[in-house]
Structure 1
Amino acid sequence: MLVNFLIKAPNETVNTLNKQMDLQDELKRQHHAALKYRFRRFAATKVGLTSAFLAGVTVQAGKNESGFVRKYGWLVKLFA
């Protein structure tokens, strides 16, 4: 009985706490991984939208007869 009280009961408590801490660490890791994935996806989407916009501006610059657009069209093509 004394062995059970002094050794086994505290050891069970420690094991339970270790499992809870491991679970919290795994949940934090999954949360951070999900956030990193969302940020990468958001950045890729923004880059894709920006690239498509610049491509559209470049096409319009080639069609437009305006001197201003023709003057700075090379800059838009540089970014596209």
Structure 2
Amino acid sequence: MLVDNLIKAPNKNVQALSKQMDMRSELKRQHHAAFQYRLKRFAATKVGLTSAFLAGAAVQAGKSETSLVRKYGWLVRLLA
């Protein structure tokens, strides 16, 4: 009885708390991984949209003969 109260019962509580902490840290890790994925996907989408916009601007600038952008078309293509 004494061994049960002094050793086994506290150990059971420690194991339960340890399991809760492990579960909580795993949930935090999964949340962080999902956030990083969303951030990378958002950045890739924004870069893709910006690149497409700059490419379109370069094409339009190439069609116009007197455009100021035509003079700097190389810079737009470089950024695209």
With normalisation by structure 1, the TM-score equals 0.93
Gaps of 5+ in 1: none
Q: Segments of 4+ in structure 1 off by > 4 A?
A: none
Per-residue CA distance 1:18-70 (angstroms, 9 max, x = gap) = 00000000001001100110111011001100110011001101111224122
> Which has the higher mean CA deviation after the structures are superposed, 65-74 or 46-55?
65-74
Percent identity between the two aligned chains: 73
2:47 aligned residue: 47
The farther-off stretch of 10-19 and 60-69 is 60-69
TM-score for both structures, normalised by structure 2:
0.93
Is the CA contact 2:61–2:67 (under 8 Å) kept in the aligned structure 1?
Answer: no
| Residue in 2 that maps onto 1:20 | 20
Tell me the residue number matched to 2:75.
Answer: 75
Matches of 1:52 and 1:66, distance apart in 2: 23
The CA RMSD measured in Å over matched residues stands at: 0.9
State the distance in 2 between where 1:34 and 1:70 align. Answer: 43
- How many residues align? The count is 80
